[in-house]
Amino acid sequence: MAKILHIQSSPMGERSYSSRTARFFLEAYQAAHPQDTIEELGLWKTELPVFDAVAASGKYKIMRGLPHSAEEARAWTGVIETIDQLKTADKIVVSTGMWNFSIPYRLKQYIDIIVQPGFTFTFAPDKGYSGLVTGKPLQLILASGGEYPAGTPMADFDFQKPYLEMIFRFMGFTDIRSLRVEGTLSPAAQDNLQKIKAKAVEAGQHF
């Protein structure tokens, strides 16, 4: 029995294109894998730990191999819980809209919490960086108001898909898949959602 973690990053509820596409995907997944469980981490419904000066100094202590002070250990309790939730899942789904050519700040906050030395990546002078979160497929479900086709000048503006792929690769993910619903601010938005539906169902059945 596998556990899926869905990191849901749009605040738009029923109007969200990324969340609606994720629902097509996850309903198809559940129908094909009735034994599996799906846990949703709604980034706008959950108070994520604040990553402030105390948490940052705890991070630098880990990098230097030093123990945490009591205050740093307290600040890191929520960080470790958030990382554990990711690492105990078997498969990860991230759904998000594009904000200012990148990702919404709640998703960036989540990334700043989970990308940690000794937990999700490690460094050795001879080997460089290695990811510690291995063997889990990742499905990205990406919405954007505009369109950013590969090979066009607009592709240079896209820091959503390349960034997410890079940061999850950094943590050890190698099987990274993506579904994109684009042009969600255009008159073709509903058509585009219907077009992605069949692809989302197919991808969900085979995740």
Ligand X SMILES: Cc1cc2nc3c(=O)[nH]c(=O)nc-3n(C[C@H](O)[C@H](O)[C@H](O)COP(=O)(O)O)c2cc1C
Residue 165: half-sphere exposure toward Cβ, Cα within 13 Å: 11
Give which of 91, 117, 100 is closest to 175, Cα–Cα: 91
Under the binding rule (CB under 6 A), the answer on residue 10 touching ligand X is yes
Under the binding rule (CB under 6 A), the answer on residue 117 touching ligand X is no
- Cβ proximity to ligand X: between 96 and 120 the closer is 96
Under the binding rule (CB under 6 A), the answer on residue 163 touching ligand X is no
Under the binding rule (CB under 6 A), the answer on residue 116 touching ligand X is no
Among 7, 8, 18, 23, contact with ligand X (rule: CB under 6 A): 18
Under the binding rule (CB under 6 A), the answer on residue 17 touching ligand X is yes
162 phi/psi in degrees, rounded to 5: -60, -35
Distances (CA, A) of 147 to 39, 142, 143, 185, 205: 30, 11, 10, 10, 26
Under the binding rule (CB under 6 A), the answer on residue 93 touching ligand X is no
- Cβ proximity to ligand X: between 14 and 47 the closer is 14
Touching ligand X, residues 19-48 (CB under 6 A) = 19
Under the binding rule (CB under 6 A), the answer on residue 144 touching ligand X is yes
DSSP string, 165-203: HHHHHHTT---EEEEEE--TTSTTHHHHHHHHHHHHHHH
Q: In angstroms, give the least distance from the CB of 98 to ligand X.
A: 4
DSSP character at residue 124: E
Burial of 125 (0-12, 13-18, 19+ CB in 10 A): exposed
Under the binding rule (CB under 6 A), the answer on residue 82 touching ligand X is no
Under the binding rule (CB under 6 A), the answer on residue 107 touching ligand X is no
Among 7, 75, 92, 143, contact with ligand X (rule: CB under 6 A): 143
Q: In angstroms, give the least distance from the CB of 169 to ligand X.
A: 23
71 neighbors 54 (Cβ within 8 angstroms): yes
Which residues would be at the binding site for ligand X (CB under 6 A)?
Answer: 10, 12, 16-19, 97-101, 143-146, 184-185
